[in-house]
């Protein structure tokens, strides 16, 4: 497993992503929804990996929900950087990660455009639970996360 670190621009929140996948093997997606296009996001996930979020300043964590309302889109209140999206189900907590927040990532695969407009709320949860990265240590936005 290799660890990749990400932070928002002001350094208040971030994550450490662990995956055994080599960077050229990453499935980097460019969601076509309004939120993701406006943030120019390029996300990835690995169901065999893990991610641990950290909050140097928990008060700047901003959760945003839209669409089906079952996913927290994670942003920094201070600098506005979008770090990823998190869901919680009976099977655990899972995340997709914005690669554009990762440090030193120059060799990423070209993002693949995707659209989930044809999926309902349950289909989206099922897909995310299957394909997103497991979150370790919880996700409450407290200093201990």
Helix, strand, coil % (nearest 5) of the chain?
15, 40, 45
49-78 residue pLDDT tens: 999 999 988 899 999 988 888 889 999 999
Strand partners, 14: 7, 54
Residue 88 lies in a domain: yes
For residue 145, is it within any domain?
no
Evaluate whether residue 73 is within a structural domain.
yes
Cα(139)–Cα(133) distance, integer angstroms: 13
Torsion of CA 17, 20, 23, 24, to 10 degrees: -150
Residue range 78-125, pLDDT digits in tens: 999 999 999 998 999 999 999 999 998 878 999 998 877 787 888 878
83-to-91, 118, 119 alpha-carbon distances in Å = 22, 25, 23
Which residues, 6+ apart, have CB-to-CB distance to 122 below 8 Å?
A: none
Residue 64: give the domain boundaries. Answer: 2-134
Q: Is 141 a domain residue?
A: no
- Distances, alpha carbon 70 to alpha carbons 8, 64, 65, 125, 133, in Å: 23, 10, 7, 8, 16
CATH number of domain containing 12: 2.170.150.70
Q: Is the pTM of this model over 0.95?
A: no
Domain tally for the chain?
1
Domain-located, residue 30? yes
Say if 144 falls within a structural domain: no
Residue 10 lies inside a defined structural domain of this protein? yes
């Amino acid at each position: 497993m290799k660890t990749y670190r990400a932070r928002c621009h002001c350094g208040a929140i971030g994550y450490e992503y662990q995956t055994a996948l080599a960077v050229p093997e990453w499935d980097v997606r460019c969601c076509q929804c309004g939120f993701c296009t406006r943030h120019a996001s390029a996300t990835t996930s690995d169901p065999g990996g893990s991610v641990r979020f950290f909050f140097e300043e928990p008060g700047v964590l901003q959760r945003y929900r839209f669409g089906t309302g079952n996913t927290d889109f994670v942003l920094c209140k201070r600098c506005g950087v979008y770090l990823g999206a998190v869901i919680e189900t009976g099977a655990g907590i899972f995340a997709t990660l914005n690669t554009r927040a990762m440090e030193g990532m120059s060799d990423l695969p070209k993002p693949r455009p995707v659209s989930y407009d044809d999926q309902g709320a349950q289909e989206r949860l099922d897909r995310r639970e299957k394909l997103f990265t497991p979150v370790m240590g919880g996700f409450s936005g407290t200093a201990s996360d």
